[in-house]
């Protein structure tokens, strides 16, 4: 497993080692000791989630406020997505910046999205299966989002607005400037 810091160093791209032959392949999808050794801290994952979507579905940009903020480790089992993490930590040198990575069932790459980031993905193929680990349970009262098309973020979603399939919730999210986000208090990011 190879861990790579992205343009926003707290967002980590993970490239697996794939062992393959005529029978198929084998790869480790998660190894806690190597993951935590690279990060330098523990991430107590407590739940795995999975979604299946068709091309054009855009889910996000979502996050939860403290004390239910979540780190996520995301990957695609089948199909492909454009995966996006947006830094919403006020005071961060990369506040309002984003990382966009193509995750596919073939490349088997994963993205670690830490607390303090909004996360979303655009499905690029029909029948895409997306899975992710989280380190905090879903808390609907602390669930928040940011408009996927916020001009300040300038995310290139690769499809036009008319090609996107969005939930009603994702159609009405606020711009980053109007959203509840995280700020630094005592060395930690909190809302």
User: 63 an active-site residue?
Assistant: no
CATH class of 2-185: mainly beta
Res. 186 pLDDT band, cuts 50 70 90 = very low
- 3-state secondary structure at position 110: strand
User: 62 an active-site residue?
Assistant: yes
- pLDDT greater than 90 at residue 56: yes
Asked if 41 contacts 133 with a C-beta cutoff of 8 angstroms, the reply is: no
Q: What confidence tens digit (pLDDT) does each residue in 166-183 have?
A: 999 999 999 999 999 998
Strands 58-64 and 117-123 turn out to be: antiparallel
Q: What confidence tens digit (pLDDT) does each residue in 8-52 have?
A: 999 999 999 999 899 998 988 898 999 998 988 888 999 999 999
The residue with tokens 């060395």 is 187
User: Which entry of 63, 132, 148, 189 is annotated as an active-site residue?
Assistant: 132
User: Which entry of 62, 78, 95, 97 is annotated as an active-site residue?
Assistant: 62
């Amino acid at each position: 497993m190879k861990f790579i810091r992205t343009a926003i160093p707290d967002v980590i791209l993970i490239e697996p080692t794939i062992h393959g032959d005529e029978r198929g392949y084998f790869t480790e999808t998660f190894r806690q000791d190597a993951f935590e050794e690279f990060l330098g801290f523990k991430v107590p994952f407590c739940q795995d989630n999975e979604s299946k979507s068709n091309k054009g579905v855009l889910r996000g940009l979502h996050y939860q406020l403290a004390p239910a903020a979540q780190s996520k480790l995301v990957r695609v089992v089948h199909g492909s997505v454009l995966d996006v993490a947006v830094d919403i930590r006020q005071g961060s040198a990369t506040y309002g910046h984003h990382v966009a990575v193509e995750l596919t069932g073939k490349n088997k790459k994963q993205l670690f999205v830490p607390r303090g980031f909004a996360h979303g993905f655009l499905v690029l193929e029909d029948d895409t299966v997306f899975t992710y680990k989280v380190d905090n349970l879903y808390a609907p009262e602390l669930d928040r989002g940011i408009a996927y098309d916020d001009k300040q973020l300038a995310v290139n979603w690769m499809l036009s607005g008319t090609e996107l399939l969005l939930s009603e919730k994702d159609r009405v999210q606020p711009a980053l400037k109007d959203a509840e986000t995280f700020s630094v208090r005592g060395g930690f990011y909190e809302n």
